[in-house]
Structure 1
Amino acid sequence: MLKRALHLFSSHLSAFLQAPTAEMNTEESVHTLPGGLDLYAKTWKTIGSPVAVLAFIHGFSDHCNAYHELFPTLASAGVEVRTFDQRGWGRSVKQTSDRGNTGPTSQVLSDIHSFLQSLPSRPDLPLFLMGHSMGGGQVLNYIFHAQSPYNREIHNRPNFTGVLLYSPLIAIDPSSRPSKLTVSAGRVVAKLVPNKQRYSPLDHSLLSRNEDMVKEVMADELCHDTGTFEGLAGMLDRGIFLEGMFAAGPEAWVKSELPFWFGHGDGDRITSYAAVQDFVEAFTESGGNVKFCTYEGAYHKLHAELPETTERFLADVKAWILSKVPGTKVVVQHEVESVEGEDTAAHGDAEAEGKAKL
């Protein structure tokens, strides 16, 4: 009996060690922008054929290898994740002078558009777009701003099935917001020497209630907390556009009939939970198809929060994506529930003229 038990244990251990996992099944690559700049890119592959693809846009002073279980969780559910380190961030930085050197908003959105255009286009494979923090604000500008390449190149734009944002930068929370004097002085410098760098560290203690995760960020050399005055001003301007978008009237933004998912911790003191609430409410009143999930007490990094919060966040994201994929099943609280797939929503009038400039 003991010999048989040892044999079974050995067999199971061998199978476990040899079995492919979502985390192990990754592929690094390079995305070359039209101007010739190479950006680090990475794909989290599914074991079998994917049921959907998610393109992900990371946040300020972050990089695509710092999202813990989010990408492996989605890959294990059949959702292939494709992402990259943006210009000025992560492994796309080749020298210290590159840190935070994103260029203006027009360049930021052009880079995102270029990456999205590089993804394989298959009408039978739903495509989702997701952004976190600064990346969330970039995604919203990419979808809604009239001068975004998504709206200027309507015959050559990605065909999304849905858009997800969490802790998106619409406004900085008052507890982390720079003074008006600092912002005004920064704008002057941005016009005179746009590429001048500024060390702008986040309060790491506000990133997560998980102290181990906070220590990990502080030790991560790729999280350099450095922006250029031009890049920092652009980040604020993108938020200003989003805050005033609906009040400016229907001609100020391009309508979208895509379904949107928002997630935000009400304890976030980096990006404003209240501003996101206001945005979602105004978008809903304007006819938007929106789902908003609040995570009680949670801080900024929902993917690296206390285990119970992150577990719920991962389950919510996975369930919402799969609910939009025809013929899939969604596991919710250990119960399997069939979900009817929804047709890809039609896009809004992409030729509407916006007033804000990028």
Structure 2
Amino acid sequence: MTSLYTEAWLAGSDGHQFYTRTYAAPAPGPKAVILFVHGFAEHVRRYEHVHIDYPKRGITLFSFDQRGFGRTALDKEHKSKDAAYGKTSWKWQLGDIEWWVKYLTKEYPDKPLFLMGHSMGGGLSLAFPTRTEPPPSQNTVKLLRGVIASSPLIRQTTPAPKVMRWAGGKLANLFPFKTFPADVPADYLSRNEAANEANLKDPLIKRIGTLRGLDDMLSGGEHLVEDDYQRWPKDLPVLFVQGTGDKVTSYKATEEFYNKIPVQDKKISLYPDAYHELVHEIDGIPAKLFEECVSWIETHLSSSEGAESDEAVSGPASKL
């Protein structure tokens, strides 16, 4: 435990051990709670510099290293026996999110709960409310007050060839947890050279994935914009934030999904020229992003407070 956050190893629904961090709002307690889901091949410590600010605004933020990543996959002392880097699937990941939604609802009863995800975690956060079969159950989705998707993986900016994707899907059925190179150039992540260099030296980041994990991540994102968007709950607000210079995930696919989902209370903010990781960007973007997310949450602390005009929450994307 530090003065900034509390660390804990907690068991998921199947007993799998997860490394977690809680950035707790001070007394008298939080006005809202965020469940944060990180991206592919990363971990929650990379967000510490921004997550420490949420409690200062009365918001508690809970984060966890996803199954197959970070300390959840690599910590020799605490990890589950069957844990391995990249060993994951959308079924497991969506089930894990459902578990933490229920956990936080019990830990913070009657507090508005928001789901926030970046990149792969952004894709999962958008997929979570659109599933037709458990996980999750629709009763669990109703526990959410809103969703924030940062640079969500719906489609890659430069998609892999279709024949390669097809072959990868077939191989994933035969050898689901065989590892495969999955390197994203560090200079694609942000225009912040120091942050990119830190990514390259980070011992908790491995540039590999498993066939099942990679195929689920890529195909699941495509299903979102091709079909699953139709099942977005009409009463679930959503905020999209992304850079127009994103070389990893397509902001045009995000715009397409935004335009398709059948909900009025939606907003998309595009940061001109910014790259994939807005929290590590230059020109004061991390601070602008933080203020936007907090302000959006504050307008949705109750169902009545979130009832803005259509012009304020929908229509053309805003450029920051």
TM norm. shorter chain > 0.5: yes
Q: Deviations over 1:261-311 (max 9, x none)?
A: 11010000100011001111112xx33421111101100000110042222
Which residue of 2 is the match for residue 80 of structure 1?
A: 60
- Provide the secondary structure at the position in 2 that maps to 1:293: strand
1:342 lines up with 2:303 in the alignment: no
Partner of 1:4: none
Pairing 1:242-257 to 2, within 5 Å after superposition: 242-245=224-227, 250=230, 253-257=231-235
Report what 2:135 is aligned to. Answer: 149
- Paired residue secondary structure (1:170): coil
Structure 2 SS opposite 1:55 = strand
* Separation (CA, whole Å) in 1 of partners of 2:283 and 2:31: 27
Supply the distance in 1 between the matched residues of 2:186 and 2:37 (Cα, whole angstroms). 20
Give the Cα separation in 2 of the matches to 1:125 and 1:341: 14
- 3-state DSSP of counterpart to 1:310: helix
The partner residue of 1:131 within 117, 134, 144 is 117
Q: Confirm whether residue 262 of structure 1 aligns to residue 240 of structure 2.
A: yes
- Unaligned 5+ residue runs, structure 2? 77-81, 308-320
TM-superposed CA distance for 1:149, in Å, is 2.1
The answer to whether structure 1 residue 116 and structure 2 residue 98 are counterparts is no
Deviation at 1:148, TM superposition (A): 4.2
Question: How far 1:242 moved relative to its partner?
Answer: 0.8
Letter in 2 for 1:116: V
Higher mean C-alpha displacement, 105-114 vs 130-139: 105-114
In structure 2, which of residues 119, 130, 144 is the aligned counterpart of residue 160 of structure 1? Answer: 144
Cα pair 2:191 2:275 within 8 Å, conserved: yes
TM-score (structure 2 length as normaliser): 0.87
Counterpart residue identity of residue 61, structure 1: A
Separation in 2, partners of 1:105, 1:246: 14
Q: CA 1:112/1:124 → structure 2, altered by over 3 Å: closer, same or farther? A: closer
Question: Matches of residues 219-234 of structure 1 in structure 2 within 5 Å?
Answer: 219-234=201-216
Q: Work out which of the residue numbers 190, 194, 214 in structure 2 matches 1:212.
A: 194
Q: Aligned partners of 2:83, 2:93: CA distance in 1, in Å?
A: 17
Q: Percent identity?
A: 31
Alignment match, 1:301: 277
Contact 1:117 1:157 in 2 (8 A): no
Counterpart of 2:44 in 1: which secondary structure? coil
Partner Cα separation in structure 2 for residue 123 and residue 116 of structure 1: 11
Q: Helix, strand or coil for the counterpart of 1:146?
A: coil
Are positions 1:71 and 2:56 aligned together?
A: no
Q: Which runs of 5+ in 1 are unaligned?
A: 1-22, 327-339, 344-358
The residue number in structure 2 matching 1:239 is 221
Q: 1:97 to 1:128 in 2, by over 3 A?
A: closer
Residues 105 and 111 of structure 2 are in contact (CA less than 8 Å); yes or no, is this contact kept in structure 1? Answer: no
Contact 1:68/1:303 (<8 A) preserved = no
- Residues 37-84 of structure 1, C-alpha deviations (whole Å, 9 max, x = no match): 101111011222211110000000111111143211212111000010
Other-structure match for 1:203: 185
- Alignment pair present for 1:45 and 2:24: yes
Q: Does structure 1 conserve the Cα–Cα contact (< 8 Å) formed by 2:299 and 2:306?
A: yes
Change in 2 beyond 3 A, CA 1:191/1:149: closer
- TM-score (normalizing by structure 1): 0.78
In the TM superposition, residue 132 of structure 1 has moved relative to its aligned partner by 0.4
* Largest Rg, 1 or 2: 1
Distance in 2 separating the partners of 1:80 and 1:131: 15
Q: Could you tell me how far 1:25 is from its partner in structure 2? A: 2.7
8 A contact 1:44–1:82 mirrored in 2: yes
- Tell me how far 1:192 sits from its aligned partner: 1.3
Residue equivalent to 1:54: 34
1:236: how far off?
1.2
Q: 1:126 to 1:246 in 2, by over 3 A?
A: closer
Q: Which amino acid aligns with 1:132?
A: H
> Matches of 2:142 and 2:201 in 1, distance apart?
36
